[in-house]
Structures are given as structure tokens and as C-alpha cells.
Chains A and B, each alone.
Chain A
Amino acid sequence: MKSENGERRIYLDNNATTRCDPRVVEAMLPFFTEKYGNSASRNHGFGWEAEEAVEKARTQVAAVIGADAKEIVFTSGATEADNLALKGVAEMYREKGDHIISVPTEHKAIIDTAKHLESLGLKVTWLPVDKEGLIDLDELRRSITEKTILISVMAVNNEVGVIQPLAEIGKIAAEKGVLFHTDAVQAVGKIPIDVNAMGIHLLSMSGHKIYGPKGIGALYVRRRNPRVRVSIQMHGGGHERGYRSGTLAVPLIVGFGKACELAAEDLSSGEIERVRKLRDRLLDGIRARVPESYVNGSLTRRAPNNLNISFAYVEGESLLMGINDIAVSSGSEDLAHTSIRFGLGRFTTEEEVDYTIERLSGIVSRLRELSPLWEMAQEGIDITKVNWQGH
């Protein structure tokens, strides 16, 4: 893909956001200038056609997670969905208990919401993850008390793509009579999700991670077996069955619906297998050319679009500077390791992957030639034992 000034640039940051699929944009367009009615307007055609479009989208969104359309609450994105789930459950089930279980590797939208609830007096248990990034189910079981009302564990991690054992968590939640919420933002369209088979009670999703528009998402709230309720976090006109007031963003919802339809197709059409092959090609290419590169998180229990690799003895900013025509995300850096997150996607091509391998391996070797730490490591010096003076 070319940038405005005609320079080549490659987008491999699809865990951060995605390009809107042209089919999504096409579906949305009429709802700006022709079918611009308020879906809550009950007495004219403009309102009816908007409502019809919203309900169609609701069905599309529900379908990708195996839910019923009535269980979908549209929100402004997954951040809001996460807030509604945690705060809504905490408030609604206050009588039953005051204990929530979550994981330190969650997205900020969960972490900070849970911390806020902690500041209000709720108790939060942060389940540790192992070096693969996975939670321990026995540990989860042991953490549940009489007072536990909610387990919130993300489906797929946004940094390393690790897939948590959702069905097993759902089973434990059902056994113990605790609600199970999952932030499935990074999972939709990447791995099959079925709220019934996995025993999920609440689920957050977002449009812009699945080639839909930004600013739209949804919270799935189970209606049967058991019926789940969340207390209102946005008061007003009573939209979305009272759960979330505010005039519906019809064009965004239509786009989100279309994006969900396409995401479901990715799973059945072989598209996601194409992405997995590209991801593996990227990994194999890097491994073949760059010694001392390590994959972060489980490779086997991992979403097919994500790769997160650490490069030893190379500093992060200088690495990104050398591949500035490739959009990636650079993660934590500890003791001279730089981790790079590659998020591949629907628009990634094999040629782009090969180019990335070329560029990246070139720049890593160049920076290692420049790196006194690499030199020391080659001489057998343990850089953790050096008496660094800092500054």
C-alpha cells in the first residue's frame, strides 16, 4: 500500500486497528445521506428503515458469536462494553458478592475498570499467567469464593495473541454459579467463538479490529440459562432495552454488522488459514535469518494473525526507526530485548511478508554490528553481571 506521498508502507499493526473493508464502507454509505433516520423514530419510513438496518446488523453481530440478536447491546466500542460488563455486574450483583477475578494481562479497559471497582471497595483477584501467557485453571478454581460474582478473562490477548481456555473457564463458572465475561475483541473472526458452547455470559467486541468502523462495539448479555443482567451505566432515553441510552449510530452499526458477517466468512472460507500461513512464513523467515529471536507467548495456543518476537541486544526505538515503512507495535523492553508485535490481516500479502523479513533481518544485523551488548554476548560476557554505571 502506498502513502499519500507515494512511498511504500506496509501495515502490520492489525491488533491495534484495521483498515475498513471497502464492502463495509459501501454498506454504510447510504445511511449517512439517504437513510439517515433515527432508528427510534416510530412513525415514519426514515425511522423504520433505520431500525430495520440496525436489527439486521444485530443479527449479523449475534451470529458471529453464536448468540441471539436480542442479547446484543450496541456500545461505542469495546472499552465501553468492558466498562458496562464489569461495573454493571458489580452493581447489579452487589447483594450476592463483591469479588471479581481477572488477569493482569487484560486490556486496560478491564484492568482500570477493575481497579476503579477496587477503589470502591470490591475485591479483585488477579490470576497470574504462566510463561506461555495462559492462566492456570486450578488456580482459577481455588480463587473462587462465596463472594465471587464475576470472572473476566480475555479470549485472545492483544499483545501476544494467546488464546485462553474459554470453554474450560465457562465450565468452572457454571459449576460455581459465577458469571463469566470475556473481552473477545481480538478473537472475533480469528478463532471460532460460541457463547453457548463456551459458557460465556457476557462478551465484549469492537468494530475497528475486524475491518469495521471505529467507535462502535457491543456487549453480549446472556438472556437465558441463566438470564444475566447488568445495571445501567448510561441513563437516558432507554435505548438498547434500557441498557445503553443514546441515539444509535446507525451507519456505524450497519458497518459493524457487515464486518461481523465478513469475519464469520473469514473463518469458513479459508481466509484465516491464509493469514496463519503468512504468519508462519513470517516467523520461519525471521527465525532462519535472525539468531537470538524469541517468540513471546504460546505458539500453539495463539490466534493465527499475531506474532510477537523479541530480539536480543537490539534497542527498540532504533529498530523501529530502521523499519519505518512497516507499521508494527513495539512492546516492553527488558534487559536489552526488544519485542515487536506483528498483526497480520485480511489485506496482508505474501510479498509484504517477504519484504518485512528482508528489512527486519537486515536492520537487526546492522544494529547488532553496532551493539556493544551483542559484542559482549558473543565474547561470552553475561551482561547481567556487568557492573553498569547507568546515568
Chain B
Amino acid sequence: MNFVLKIWRQEGTGSGGAFSHYEVRDVEPTVSFLEMLDTLNEELTESGQEPVAFDSDCREGICGMCSLVINGQPHGPIPGTTTCQLYMRHFSDGEEITIEPWRSSAFPVLRDLVVDRSAFDRVMQAGGYVTVHSGPKPEPNSIPIEPEVAEEALDAACCIGCGACVAACPNGAAMLYTSAKVSHLALLPQGQPERYARVTAMVEQMEEEGFGSCRNYAECEAACPKEISIKFIGRMNRDYLRAALREPINPRGKMESQ
């Protein structure tokens, strides 16, 4: 198969970028999308041109490192699939393929197709945990959890943090990501003590990072390689509003001064 690639090239964060066109020939349909780019990069190197920078690591759809907006869709055209799991047989011979980086001001482009997603980590650091330190813990079977609840928590927790939801959202919102993280712990008994403090802190951080707000387009859900449901957004909204309107303000105030 042959393809024309139209790839966004950009030197660094501040510098401007532009599309470059490349041709790749005789690509096997069994080759993955990233392997096709690997081959392109080898050819570029051999001819003395700088290879295209793109992120990837596990190449099996779990680390969340790979990105790329392919023909206008984050992670390409196949639902529930990361870019690293995309194969060239999903494209038609001779096609022109446009490849762009994630676009969001919270994810500045670092180089070519590589973006900075550390905003996601800071949202987690703001409260995405249960405060427990290493050491003896209660016997887990002393707190039974209905399997359906554990499964739903896992549906949220299986987020790979790739940022496709933000990339897909015309509003640059990180609601699917944040809500999946919030809901994972909000659903489990272990997450209850910090439930409202957590949602407040994480939402505040999310906004501070410059993500946009949800308009309920559901593009995030469609782009999510783990097919995480937008139902978690409503769940988070509920918890957030509850925390804002009903829960005590600064519940830890007294404890912290102790």
C-alpha cells in the first residue's frame, strides 16, 4: 500500500509549525500505524532529515503514551483503539493521511506530534488518591464490595490518561478524564472519607490548568480508546455540586491547625 502523509512539524513549544508532506510506499497492511511512522523515520534519517517526533511506549494500548489526531480523529478512525493498535489495513491504498498533535492549550506541543500532558498528573496530585501510607491494613474481605460496584469503579479506573478526550473536545475540556478519576474512588468504600474534598480539589486543579468546560457533545466518549462513558461526568457534577452546596466548607480546618 502507498500513502501520502501530511504531518504537522514543529521545532519546539514557542515556535510555529507547518504541515509537511511525505510519501510512504509498499507498506504491508499488517504493519501498525506507528510502525509505518517508524519506517518513515528510518527513511528520513537515511536521507539526512530529522525524523518525526511522536510519543509511544507500550505499543499495546495501555500506557497511554501514544497520541496523534489522524484524519481529524484522535487515535484514528477505529473506535476503542489507541494509535499504537491501529493497523494500516484500516486505511485505503493511496489515501492521504493527515496527522496532527493533540490540540489544547493545556497540552502545549513540545515537538512535532509530542505534547506535554503533565496537567493530567497535577490534577491527580490535587486529590486523586486515598490517603493511606504503607503498612498493615485491614483485611480486605472485612469490607465486601458488590462486584457490580467494583466493576463500575474499574470501568472508570481503566482510563489510560492519553488525553484523547481533551483532544477530541472542541472545548478542550478534561471532564471525562477528571470525572473518571473522581468516580473510580467515589464509587468504592475506600474513597468515601475524602470523597467531597477530592472532587473539589481535582475540579479546581482541572480549571487552573486551563481546560475548557463540558458542553455535552460526547466527542470525548467517542474518542476514548477505553470507551469510558460520559456518565461519569454527570456523576462528578453531582458530587461537585453537592460538595459546593451541602458539605462543610473547609472540613479539615480544625484538624490542620492541631
Does B associate with A?
A: no
